[in-house]
Amino acid sequence: STHEAVLGSHISQLMPPEFSALLTSAIERVFSQGEVVSGDIQTGGAGQPARWYSCHISPVRLHGRTIAATIRATDITQRHDA
| HEC secondary structure over 31-74 | HHHCCCEEEEEEEEECCEEEEEEEEEEEEEEECCEEEEEEEEEE
The residues pairing with 45 across neighbouring beta strands, listed in sequence order, are 48
Residue whose C-alpha is closest to residue 77's, from 42, 41, 49, 51? 51
Question: What distance in Å separates the CA atoms of residue 47 and residue 45, rounded to the nearest whole number?
Answer: 5
Higher pLDDT residue, 30 or 73? 30
d(CA 11, CA 5): 12
Band the pLDDT of 69: cuts 50, 70, 90.
very high
* Structure confidence by residue, pLDDT tens digits, 40-65: 888 776 677 888 889 999 999 999 99
State the Cα–Cα distance between residues 13 and 34, nearest whole angstrom: 24
Record the pTM.
0.73
